[in-house]
Amino acid sequence: MQVKDVLCAFQAVEKVFAVPNGFYWQTVETDEKYFPNSSDIEACRDIDTEVAMVLLFETLFQSPLATHHTLQLVLSSGLDICGLRLLCPQQDVLLSSSEKLPSSYTSKTGKVPPVLALGVRGPKARSALQNIIGPSDPQLASVTDCRSINAIYCRSQAEPLVYLPHLDSRVHRELCLWFGGRATDAALRAGVLDPASLGNNRASSRSPSSTRAEADEEKVDLQGMMLSRPPAMLVSTTKGDIILMVSPVVTPHAYGNVISVCTHRGFVLQGIRQLQLSPKQAVVLSLTTSQIAVFCPSKMSSSPDTSSARGELSAEPRVHCLILLLRKENASHHIPALVKGLMNELAKQGRLGNRQSNVPATAGLDPSMCFHVAPYTETLLQTLGGNLSAVPEPRNVPLDLFCNRTYASDPEMEQVVILTLVGVDAMKSAGELLHQIILPGHNNQFESAEEPDLGFELLGLKWLPHLTRCQAREITPFEVGDTSWQRSLDTLMSNPVLVCALRRINAFKVLADALKRLTQCREKLSESGSLLQTVMALTPEVTIRQAILFFTETDFVTDAEHRPAMKYLPPPGKRSRAEGKTRMPPKSPWNSQILEVLSNNPNTKEKNWYCEEWERARDAMQNHCLPTCKQERLWVSLVCFVTGAQILCTVLLIKPGAWSHSLARILRKLDLEKFSVVGMKHINLEPDIALGLLSSEVKQDPAVLEAHCTYLTSGTALVLCLQRPNAVKKLIDLLGPEDPKLAQALDPFLWRAQYGISTVQNGFYGSKSYQIAVRDMKLFFPEGLCCAECQTLEEEEIYNLKRDPIVSLEIHKQRKIIKRERGGQLNLLGSEQPCSLDRPLLDNLCQTTCLVLPGIILRGSEHPPYVELLDQLIGKDFTVTGVRLTVLDAPQAHCISETLSRAKCSVAAKCSLLMDGLCLVLAAQRDNAVICFDSLLDSVCWQKQSVLDTAQHLLYPQNEKQASRGVYGTDMCPLCPCDE
């Protein structure tokens, strides 16, 4: 008996070890390639990769439709099937795994049906598999997830379809139990043919004339068999790269969603770039003819439509694609599921709407028109421009690059900010974070008074496997002396980073608040050992220093359609009509942004400095001092950021009844907001002009339209042209919503909240966009504006006022004084109206005087002194009935000086003052305004020293005769007739 037992044991051992060596886990090498200059393969491991398993009972796996559906759901979830075994286990083994078995597996006959053990591998495989199977109760599954397996195929909770372990310990046990054995030698030979014998058979049947191609094909087949020969129960594959191309149909606002879907499916980002594809590149990429029309659209201006008629800009069609280099196990196998997942996510977010006129109408619904995916090859990557993580060489940056710069430091201006995401964990959440920043939704507290917040414009993206020491020193938020400085450098130099360039108004504050809101706690190396995940540039100076380290000219792509401030700024790409007035660089395809910056910069010194820098760069390129391409791109990418303040003009119309007694306060508010008044006049609106100022919403209701037109034409309005950086947007923000009640609820200090009464009498009209502002300036100031030469205005054919178009030496011979009949009255608008019983009658004591304020009063101090004078006069019961800002030439200045000067000896001095810049002409009305003006002015001057200094240069009539001539000379007579 003992000898027999030993022989049996020996036979068992021999039987087991006769099986060729195999593995519990085996990694299969595929033909997929990867980019060697990106992250190391080991560094790309996904810590979220899990292995899960499920037992399928016969009711499920014997149904071909149900089995196929289950496998399809596994694939669409981004999972790989790493193990598949059909087993006939004993009943006690099944009961040790699960107590809930179908009735067919618990019969007393002892015959147990087979089970199908399915192992899956992928990102968060266990939770993904649980979502596929669904709750064990079919009724609950049909409510919570009607697309799960249990909701569709399970009939009763007592008859389960699968056994799915949930706890980690149970998953490990089941994997060892069902996938821990090895196949026998007979099983192996039954399933796999001997490669040697197969090769001999083929050799005997092959004729001597066999081609080399057939031999290569046979070699590949033999290699595949050799790879499949070693037995293994669980199999994984090597990693490979794919290139995902996102067409211009998908807007940049959806790029965060695209990155998020890729990372959630286990793809690791290895490179990113925005690129304008050419048709030749598209052919190399194997794009079809219909795809080429979408991926390579022709760059042309969109046709004019109703938007241009309303004075709005129509954005040019997008022409850039987004290129992503992605890495994953068995990557090519997951391409169809990735495209499907991207389409589902974009459809869910509503990002497939096609607004371009040069692409097919169905392009947004066809996956091939939105995405094109190809396995990575070196040739393919070179077709797309080479290494996607290429950055400029730091040594090619001139030493004086940061000298004499004008940065966009004003928070009311458009600003560019650099956001850097660091670490593997940050890469996984980068898509969601970008989506929340670019499209903040309705919960953002930084909303404009006129319209909701539109988020950021995405200018550029750059992924790097790690930073160099030079780059890390610029990115780290810590100073050299901080204890965490060296640790931050180590973190930045050993982890992948994603650098994002974002643009919007007040970008630094909005992004800082958004990051604080989106992240529960800011990562601080000084307090914890966690990775530094989000770092943003804190100033414009830091932004430009970081930008030139990562981005070139081709990396920056503007998104006009989603640029929040686009409607408030001049259209890009304008060329100057007066190019010869300033020393400009010659035209070239790459210096258009330089010309745009110079055209909007009023500083002549800085213009010449830019030109000198450009000429220096051009000479360096001609002398081969620096590489032409890199120097060129460095310069242009720098100009993208060094835009400085863009001086613009807008139009403010103060409606009837809101300005006569509030003019001084309004002018003071404008000065506090750094507006310069470059045009001002009173005007009686014609019905057709008033109609053109109303919005399309107002025009839809005839009753509301009539109320607005009646009010706008009921009296005299005051129209001003205002100049400052970002003037259009700033004025809209100050005015607030058109409904004064809504403005009061948002901010009581909004102008319409302070001066408005109703939606009709809301006090103000302001140009709502740059194009509307240009239209309004041409409408109300056809004679020109009282400002220095501005190239932006010259491009719009709006020129400077050289002389007053009304003042004439012979004007007193052509007009006559109109006397007011007794019984008339003067309303707040300055016009004569019939007598009303509830208002006092005006008698013959009411007079109109003319005040001429030369340029020395309009400027020369921090706050214009004339505003204080005007405020004091209004406090003395003066009513302003007419205003004009003008420029006088020598004859006109001499005429007015001769008329209004007290002594002949002062005529030359007054004439010199009038010719020195602008003049503000006011018509003010009051009892005995002309006769008693000196005494009234003296009483005001005694109270305010600033008013006394201003009054020394004031010109006004001393008697009624001078007043009548002064009124004639400034065209006030038709509006404010004086008594004679």
- Summarised one tens digit per residue, pLDDT across range 479-495 is 888 888 899 999 999 99
Contact 648, 724 (CB under 8 A): yes
Strand partners, 653: 719, 765
Task: Give dist(CA 892, CA 911) in Å, integer.
Answer: 9
**pLDDT for residue 912:** 79
Task: Give dist(CA 899, CA 388) in Å, integer.
Answer: 75
Question: What pLDDT digit, counting tens, does each position of 730-772 carry?
Answer: 999 999 999 999 999 999 999 999 999 999 999 999 999 999 9
> Is pLDDT above 90 for 439?
no
Break the chain down into helix, strand, coil percent, rounded to 5.
45, 15, 40
Nearest to 603 by CA among 725, 685, 481: 725
Q: Which residue has the higher pLDDT, 513 or 204?
A: 513
**pLDDT for residue 422:** 93
Weakest-pLDDT range from 295-304, 663-672, 817-826: 817-826
Q: What percent of the chain has pLDDT over 90?
A: 29
Q: What percent of the chain has pLDDT over 70?
A: 69
User: What is the average per-residue pLDDT within 921-941?
Assistant: 78
Nearest to 574 by CA among 601, 587, 593: 593
Q: Which residue has the higher pLDDT, 619 or 963?
A: 963
**pLDDT for residue 660:** 78
Beta strands in 518-646 (DSSP E): 534-536
**pLDDT for residue 614:** 47
Task: Give dist(CA 358, CA 213) in Å, integer.
Answer: 45
**pLDDT for residue 133:** 92
Token pair recorded at residue 114: 């087979």
Strands 497-505 and 414-422: antiparallel
> Is pLDDT above 60 for 807?
yes
Cα distances (angstroms) measured from residue 238 to each of 52, 222, 873, 969 = 19, 20, 86, 90
Interacting residues of 711 by C-beta distance below 8 A, sequence separation 6+: 655, 656, 760, 761
**pLDDT for residue 15:** 57
Strands 23-28 and 80-87: unpaired
Which letter does DSSP use for residue 429 in this model?
T
**pLDDT for residue 448:** 42
**pLDDT for residue 260:** 94
> Is pLDDT above 60 for 633?
no
The mean pLDDT of the chain is 76
**pLDDT for residue 814:** 46
Task: Give dist(CA 850, CA 961) in Å, integer.
Answer: 12
Contact 282, 291 (CB under 8 A): yes
Contact 763, 751 (CB under 8 A): yes
CA dihedral 486, 487, 491, 494 (to 10 degrees): 60
**pLDDT for residue 360:** 54
> At 413, is the pLDDT very low, low, confident or very high (cuts 50, 70, 90)?
confident
DSSP character string of 647-716: EEEEEEEEPTTSSTTTHHHHHHHHHHTT-EEEEEEEE---HHHHHHTS-HHHHTSHHHHHHHHHHHTSS-
**pLDDT for residue 634:** 46
**pLDDT for residue 399:** 54
Nearest to 179 by CA among 102, 111, 89: 89
**pLDDT for residue 579:** 38
User: What is the average per-residue pLDDT within 256-265?
Assistant: 93
Task: Give dist(CA 919, CA 909) in Å, integer.
Answer: 15
**pLDDT for residue 246:** 94
> At 831, is the pLDDT very low, low, confident or very high (cuts 50, 70, 90)?
very low
Weakest-pLDDT range from 175-189, 521-535, 707-721: 521-535
Task: Give dist(CA 699, CA 498) in Å, integer.
Answer: 49
Weakest-pLDDT range from 137-146, 408-417, 626-635, 638-647: 626-635
> At 467, is the pLDDT very low, low, confident or very high (cuts 50, 70, 90)?
very high
SS3 245: strand
**pLDDT for residue 197:** 39
> At 91, is the pLDDT very low, low, confident or very high (cuts 50, 70, 90)?
confident
Which letter does DSSP use for residue 159 in this model?
S
- In this structure, what are the phi and psi dihedrals at residue 740, rounded to the nearest 5 degrees? -60, -30
CA dihedral 709, 711, 716, 717 (to 10 degrees): -80
Q: Which residue has the higher pLDDT, 865 or 357?
A: 865
Q: Which residue has the higher pLDDT, 542 or 966?
A: 542
> At 531, is the pLDDT very low, low, confident or very high (cuts 50, 70, 90)?
low
SS3 374: strand
Contact 651, 798 (CB under 8 A): no
> At 43, is the pLDDT very low, low, confident or very high (cuts 50, 70, 90)?
low
Burial per residue of 749-762, b for 16 or more beta-carbon CB atoms within 10 angstroms, e otherwise: ebbbbbbbeebbbb
